[in-house]
Amino acid sequence: MSFETLGLSAELLRAIADKGYSQPSPIQLQAIPPVLEGHDIMATAQTGTGKTAGFTLPLLQRLSETNPASGKRPVRALILTPTRELAAQVAESVDTYGKHLSLKSAVIFGGVKINPQIQKLRNGVDILVATPGRLLDHVSQRTVDLSQVEILVLDEADRMLDMGFIRDIRKILASLPAQSHRQNLMFSATFSGEIRKLADGLLDSPVVIEVARRNTAAESVDQVVHMVDRDRKRELLSHMIGSQNWKQVLVFTRTKHGANRLAQQLERDGLPAAAIHGNKSQGARTRALADFKKGQVRVLVATDIAARGLDISQLPHVVNFELPNVPEDYVHRIGRTGRAGNEGEAVSLVCVDEHKLLRDIERLIKREIPRIALSGYEPDPSIRAEPIQKRRAPQRNGRGNNGSNAGRRGNGANNGRGKRPQSGNRAANDNQRRRAS
């Protein structure tokens, strides 16, 4: 089945050809026709399946078929994403696929100045990509008008709930036209009871699409575990990168501090490396990602939330320098490789402290990950397990702070918010969420 048979316009087919896609991915095959017909959809799709084009292409087509009212362009499509990086990437896709159309788009997220965003919104945009916290800032300052939104997309809805955005989302929904007056598209990697509840209130007789089983680790990813002593992980990682001549590798650590330290150590080993996490400014994060994509940085060290939504096409290697505390994050992490039909390899460096985490992951993905012992790096059997420093569970309920996306707030980002009466806990939770977006 080709893109031509899906009913997409010549302008979009040209953009797809420019991008070099020859065939629609399964989610695109299933999502594009019903979205073009105006249906609501609820899609359970893993990251890396091509879901962004699955909603962006038909959304662009629908908007381009009707002319906006003359005068200032109203926001007619709103795409909500959980993280800044994902927002930036979705916005890039909107630009890429819409390059032969005359629609205007903008992306807004926290951690950067609000004034340029206000200016852009003032000039009028058809498509707005946003994270919930900063969007609410604009709503409360009345610098955005969402009353004419025709299409709403909730991307990575499960992650937005995990990050505690549900109240923000409900407030945003309240500033949109009534549910029956807009098309609603919801994408989620998992389909929990909470997601179902959100979907029930949001979607009208949705077409339900499922392209990957829940929590199934991507089939195209080769997964291996290297058992190694905790103090020799860095040495082994440098050895693997050097001896196997890896050019582009994404490495996960559990903490911001660990990410910084590892990036510095790798640099000292002669491997160009950068760390991305929430304590870095948005500019530094964007720069690190751009350098990584260009191949100037060979190793990108990231924490879980900072890495969420990263789309680096054909990323060949993902390394878990430390296993995540939450088994589902393993699936998200390795989803960074083997994307859209490419082969990928996910290597986990596991020390004696992490055996339980490994068992939890294997239980979740329902398979045993092959162990490889690299000669010279076999673990010393006399080393005892030590408890992993207990950190609050990352972002499961919006309270924990694994710190990976807690970026700075931009100027004026708190306008209109300080007045709200909030209980201590709630205020703290809100602050946490705002930082994340």
Residues that bind ligand AMP (CB under 6 A): 21, 23-25, 28, 47-53, 311, 313, 339-340
In angstroms, the CA 223 to CA 228 distance is: 16
In angstroms, the CA 327 to CA 128 distance is: 33
Nearer to ligand AMP, 137 or 155 (CB): 155
Minimum distance from residue 293 beta carbon to ligand AMP (Å): 11
In angstroms, the CA 321 to CA 168 distance is: 34
Four-residue CA torsion sign, 346, 351, 357, 361: positive
Nearer to ligand AMP, 99 or 417 (CB): 99
Nearer to ligand AMP, 34 or 410 (CB): 34
Neighbouring CB atoms inside 10 A of 103's CB total 18
Please list the helix, strand and coil fractions of the chain in percent, rounded to the nearest 5, in that order.
40, 15, 45
Bridge partner list, 345: 222, 317
Nearer to ligand AMP, 237 or 300 (CB): 300
Cβ partners under 8 Å of residue 252, min gap 6: 301, 302, 303, 304, 307, 318, 319, 320, 321, 322, 324, 333
Minimum distance from residue 311 beta carbon to ligand AMP (Å): 5
Minimum distance from residue 14 beta carbon to ligand AMP (Å): 15
Nearer to ligand AMP, 56 or 401 (CB): 56
Beta strand 183-188 pairing with 41-44: parallel
Q: Collapsing DSSP states into helix, strand and coil, what is residue 101?
A: coil
- Residue 204 corresponds to which tokens in the numbers above? 């009208």
Minimum distance from residue 155 beta carbon to ligand AMP (Å): 9
Residue 53 Cα distances to 15, 85, 421, angstroms: 11, 17, 41
In angstroms, the CA 8 to CA 62 distance is: 10
Minimum distance from residue 28 beta carbon to ligand AMP (Å): 6
Give DSSP secondary structure letters for 364-388.
HHTSPPPEE--TT-PPPTTPPP-PP
- Closest to 28 measured CA to CA, from 9, 47, 56: 56
For residue 11, count CB atoms less than 10 angstroms from its CB and return exposed for 0-12, middle for 13-18, buried for 19 or more. Answer: middle
Minimum distance from residue 80 beta carbon to ligand AMP (Å): 15
Nearer to ligand AMP, 57 or 358 (CB): 57
Minimum distance from residue 221 beta carbon to ligand AMP (Å): 14
Minimum distance from residue 170 beta carbon to ligand AMP (Å): 26
Minimum distance from residue 156 beta carbon to ligand AMP (Å): 10
Nearer to ligand AMP, 47 or 279 (CB): 47
Nearer to ligand AMP, 162 or 311 (CB): 311
What's the DSSP call for residue 114?
S
Minimum distance from residue 340 beta carbon to ligand AMP (Å): 3
Minimum distance from residue 124 beta carbon to ligand AMP (Å): 27
- Residue 265 corresponds to which tokens in the numbers above? 């150590």
Nearer to ligand AMP, 208 or 340 (CB): 340
Nearer to ligand AMP, 48 or 206 (CB): 48
Nearer to ligand AMP, 4 or 204 (CB): 4
* HEC secondary structure over 144-203: CCCCCCCEEEECCHHHHHHCCCHHHHHHHHHCCCCHHHCEEEEEECCCCHHHHHHHHHHC
In angstroms, the CA 154 to CA 419 distance is: 28
